Amino acid sequence: MPLSPQRRLALCTTLVAALAAGLAPATSAVAAAPAAATATDPVAAVGAATRPAAGRLPDMEGVAGALSAAMAKGAPGAMARYTGPGGVKTRALGVRDRVSGAPMDTQGRFRIGSVSKTFSAVVLLQLVDEGKVELDAPVNRYLPKLLPDDRITVRHLLTHRSGLADYTDAMFNRTVPGFEAVRNRVFSYQELVNLSLSEPRTTEPGVAYKYSNANFVVVGMLIEKATGQPVADAYQRRIFTPLGLRNTSYVHPDTRIAGLQVRGYLHPDEAGAPLVDSTEQTVSWAQSAGAVISNPEDLNTFTSALMQGRLLSPRMLDAMTTVTPTDATNTRFYGLGLRRYDLSCGTRVYGHTGTVQGFYTYTFATRDGRRSLAAMANTSNRGEANTALGGTLEAAFCGKPTAPKPSSRAALDASAPAALPAEQDLRENR
């Protein structure tokens, strides 16, 4: 007996609902799945878990809310630049110079701190591709007798699994006095390695993740040994020039930020003490671990180009994006000089965070490189400001939450997405 049009419509509706229930992706499970922690994550395997829902746009109100929240926690200013299929979107709040009152400007240049580690990792992985370095070879093969343990490999440095102590913990045990003691000092790489080796190692090689700036000091030494060039030249020839990064430079030991600059402000450990202008410094205490200067546009370009395979071979990019957890949340991971954050909407983003005296930075992109965000707040030693700035990632890559947000300027702080405590790239006492 033929079905009536009404019966056919009801049956189709039931089947569609059943299929939708059975095929709907469980994004929360994807974000937390431990199996993803160590898996290579090429674009073909990413699937819907790393893409936003169709038509999802960045929540620039939420981005502004996160910037405002960072200012409420002590940053004189903050800014963000987002790029995606819909074009470029920017937000800038507060001031880039407390003395002149100059407003924050997304064209301004600033110190990017540990985002420099991703630049260093790219250069070293290019050298691996060229057969000049092997990832699983002992560091001492290339730098004889540098380290007291022949088991420490190049890969251990890039993944922060060498066990080398982070000398900056002692160096900045007292934030402002520690900074002033090294502000104009010029270190050799060997001096920094010696500072690390004077302290107990944190773990056996390869056993556990333990972030240490010493690892990327040694990476800089490897780059210079393999290329016969200063790190600055390797950055320029291999990354800055090919990508047209006109506002990015490795400045050491000069203390200045040339051109349109954002000034950085360091919070002392003592409550109520005035901010310290920390803009001019050699950053010799970090060098290849943190001395690069850039701006949001160049950071967007760099992170997107990296994820699109413009800087590394597919083999090396797969190695770089193969990650292991850095904490117990199953949302934060580390590869080879690269962080991966799994956001609440299921989107995975790759990049790095950066802390240097006076500046916090986040620069991340999706695995296909089509969407990227660079955000900065001009303060440091104020962990709550760093955490608030991290809220720009959720807003930019996940879009507006389902619940409506207040739209008034006074409600910007309340509209900022919640964020996990920021990971520390440098010792924080407040």
Give catalytic residues, as residue numbers: 114
Place of tokens 């003691």: 181
* Contact between 126 and 316 (Cβ < 8 Å): yes
Whole-angstrom Cα distance, residue 142 to residue 13? 67
Residue type at 181?
A: A
Check residue 89 and report its DSSP letter: E
Whole-angstrom Cα distance, residue 331 to residue 30? 10
Whole-angstrom Cα distance, residue 262 to residue 401? 32
- Radius of gyration of the chain, Cα coordinates, nearest whole angstrom: 23
Whole-angstrom Cα distance, residue 389 to residue 94? 14
Q: How many C-beta atoms surround the C-beta of residue 10 within 10 A?
A: 12
Whole-angstrom Cα distance, residue 114 to residue 217? 11
Pull the structure tokens for residue 48: 């819907």
Sort 24 into a burial class: Cβ within 10 Å, 0-12 / 13-18 / 19+. Answer: exposed
Whole-angstrom Cα distance, residue 277 to residue 264? 6
Q: Which residues pair with 355 in a beta bridge?
A: 360
Give the chain's length: 430
Q: Helices in 147-188 by DSSP H: which ranges?
A: 154-158, 168-171, 175-182
Burial 41-73 (b: 16+ CB within 10 A, else e): bebeeeeebbbbeeeeebbbbbbbbbbbbbbeb
